[in-house]
Structure 1
Amino acid sequence: MSRSALVLFSGGQDSTTCLAWALSRFERVETIGFDYGQKHIVEMTCRDTILGRIGGLRANWSERLGEDHLIDLGILGQISETALTQDMAIAIAEDGLPNTFVPGRNLLFLTLAAAVAYRRGIRHLVGGMCETDFSGYPDCRDDTIKALQVTLNLGMDKRFVIDTPLMWLDKAATWQLAEEVGGTNLVDLILEGSHTCYTGDRSHLHDWGYGCGECPACRLRAKGYENFRSRNATFTGRRE
């Protein structure tokens, strides 16, 4: 087993699954989160909830879960004109990308995470990037992550490994992975504690979790949960 990992942890479904995945594989797991002026800032509160509960889901997870690092990246929100950082409706931009795409976000996240990992003596960086359900975001592509890994290793003279356990999974398979590594209790924690909705809505509880139910993130999460339930007849979560 590799010794340590740093998980990019937002408080959403994907990063919570990645955190559990890392806790099942590494002896020491630290987390890093970013406040970049996102409209769904409620996810930062959800981070605390999940970090406070996830250690109790499996033997040794509480001992493996280490320090949490919060980075003020407000400058990214200041220079971005996107539906995640400005008051505008979600739409498809002229370049064909949804205007929820925040240019440079994952590149900055991983670069700053590598800088923290360098100082902390951590080799593995874990992120929830996914090329299967990624809304066309270019900084979620496998080629982008591989190229950035090379750049970080050259620029810092290290041998970082960027692990992306969700890269080739659809949302149903992401729910399945959560159940495999953390059982029904982890699925329930994701349902009740995580946040994915772009609008920051925590007033509506659906069978797949909290959210407005209309934004692209909610629709993707809901469809994935429905497919997960239909594929997995043995799942016995709390909400039927």
Structure 2
Amino acid sequence: MHTTALVLFSGGQDSTTCLAHALARYDRVETIAFDYRQRHSVELEARLQVLQEIRKQFPLWAPKLGEDHILDLAVLGAVSETSLTRDTAFKMEASGLPNTFVPGRNLLFLTLSAAVAYRRDLQVIVTGVCEADYSGYPDCRDDTMKAMQLALSLGMDKRYLIETPLMWIDKADTWRLAHQLGAASGVPDGGQKLVDLIVEHTHTCYLGDREHRHAWGYGCGTCPACELRARGYERFSTN
């Protein structure tokens, strides 16, 4: 039986929902993030505020929330000529993938997360990758996650579970899942409180915009991440 988890926690909508998922299931939950010189590095600040608000607003989850880890991955930014690590316009490449794809990012994230999980004796690695509502990133696919779970378990001689709560749901359902998790947290009106927390404190915008406030949160409103989050919130709020 699994009792401990490490959540890949960027401070965005998806990873915050995954964190709530883990806190609802496991006795001890730690978090990890990566500084790869992303243009939207404001997410590294936003995530600390999210952690603080979860501890404050969800008292039954707070004792489960353990150590937070941030790893410096400047090398990933150095080898990545993408619109997430360079000041270039968002566009589709000849490969059919958007230039927001950072090659090897999730593979590296999971490998380093497994190393931290090994040292911290954490059994489950939780990540917010999704195949139902995404940009076609090959390192977000279910097959990739299964292959990584096998490789990491064999390579470290420790049976890991890579959990992907969002794999088969779209952004509207991700908002609904957050509401459901909050509602089951034991906090009065917890569903709406978690949704409001995500709106106000998480960060998704690829351009790092924290000036423009929308119904779904802060962001430029035009980058691919903002558009996806906005469409999901509209479907969630009107149904």
What is the aligned length?
A: 231
Equivalents in 2 of 1:190, 1:2: separation in Å? 27
> In structure 1, the residue corresponding to 2:7 is in which secondary structure?
strand
| TM-aligned CA deviation for residue 37 of structure 1 | 0.6
* Counterpart residue number, 2:209: 201
Q: Which residue of 2 aligns with 1:51?
A: 51
Distance 2:238 2:112 in 1: 39
Structure 1 runs (4+) greater than 4 angstroms displaced: none
Give unpaired runs (5+ residues) of structure 1: 232-240
* Counterpart in the other structure of 2:94: 94
User: Which residue is 1:69 aligned to?
Assistant: 69
Aligned partners of 2:71, 2:134: CA distance in 1, in Å? 24
What CA distance in whole angstroms lies between the structure 2 residues aligned with 1:59 and 1:210? Answer: 26
Aligned-pair CA distance for 1:3: 1.3
Match of 1:135 in 2: 135
What is aligned with 2:188?
none
Q: Does 1:79 align with 2:79?
A: yes
User: Which residue pairs with 2:15 in the alignment?
Assistant: 15
Identity over aligned pairs, percent: 64
Structure 1 position 51, deviation (Å):
0.7
Q: Which residue of 2 aligns with 1:238?
A: none
CA distance in 2, matches of 1:65, 1:137: 30
Q: Which residue matches 2:225?
A: 217
TM-score (norm 2): 0.95
Distance in 2, matches of 1:167 and 1:57, equals 27
Report the equivalent of 1:159.
159
TM-score normalised by the chain length of structure 1? 0.95
Name the SS for the 1:70 alignment partner: strand
> Deviation digits for residues 142-201 of structure 1, max 9, x if unmatched?
000000100001100110000000000100000000000111111001001000001111
